[in-house]
Chain A
Amino acid sequence: EAGVTQFPSHSVIEKGQTVTLRCDPISGHDNLYWYRRVMGKEIKFLLHFVKESKQDESGMPNNRFLAERTGGTYSTLKVQPAELEDSGVYFCASSPDRGNEETQYFGPGTRLLVL
């Protein structure tokens, strides 16, 4: 079974540019999560999809971040325009829809550097 995949693995952009991160969850997983780790700090929750619907987006930092999940499959996280403080590692995770006792399986992350 393929795990959670994320693309790209690394991205270096200039302040003001746009970047789109993609996450492909494990096949059949209804729950998809985005997290972010800013250097030296804890991994923080951004948002949670159940299928194509946003269940919880309380962790999204501001309106420069837009997350979508087309057809309840893969998800994209767009940052527009990017700022220096957006640099960090963006993790995606997925879990089956069997209640909140399910393990979240994480992808390798996308390392974003905004210059």
Chain B
Amino acid sequence: AQSVTQPDIHITVSEGASLELRCNYSYGATPYLFWYVQSPGQGLQLLLKYFSGDTLVQGIKGFEAEFKRSQSSFNLRKPSVHWSDAAEYFCAVGGATNKLIFGTGTLLAVQP
């Protein structure tokens, strides 16, 4: 079955600390992988995506993610978190069909 698992429902980090949000997927074909962010009152904004090529992907707002096929993972990282990064983060997988399969989301809180 195709699925995405985000094991951390809620994470709190201090401003300036590093961040890693976990994402594992199950997909029967070559996956296309995405991270979206939803800030309060806003829609989903694409942070980064992986289709092929370099497995370390750079995105907006200083985020990056690494595709590890052997671990079926696509974890999101940021070296230094800012207060404005507080939001909900969604990992998603797509492929030959256009529909995206999302994880349940990780809610990030940033402490001053």
Contact of B32 with A100 in the complex, beta carbons under 8 Å: yes
Q: How large is the interface on B (under 10, 10 to 19, 20 to 34, 35 or more residues)?
A: 20 to 34
Contact of A101 with B43 in the complex, beta carbons under 8 Å: no
What residues of chain B lie closer than 8 Å to A59, measured between beta carbons? 99
Q: Which residue of B lies closest to A50 (CB)?
A: B98
Q: Which residue of B lies closest to A55 (CB)?
A: B98
CB < 8 Å neighbour of A42 from B4, B36, B96: B4
CB < 8 Å neighbour of A33 from B36, B51, B99, B101: B99
Contact of B98 with A48 in the complex, beta carbons under 8 Å: yes
Contact of B104 with A56 in the complex, beta carbons under 8 Å: no
Closest 8 CB pairs of A and B: A106-B44, A108-B43, A45-B99, A43-B102, A42-B104, A42-B102, A106-B43, A100-B98
Tell me, in angstroms, the Cα distance from A74 to B31 when the chains sit together: 29
What residues of chain A lie closer than 8 Å to B99, measured between beta carbons? 33, 45, 48, 56, 58-59
Contact of B36 with A106 in the complex, beta carbons under 8 Å: yes
Known: A45-B100, A48-B99. 20 other contacts (CB 8 A): A31-B98, A42-B4, A42-B102, A42-B105, A43-B92, A43-B105, A45-B101, A56-B98, A58-B99, A100-B94, A100-B96, A100-B98, A101-B32, A103-B49, A104-B100, A105-B46, A106-B44, A106-B45, A108-B43, A109-B43
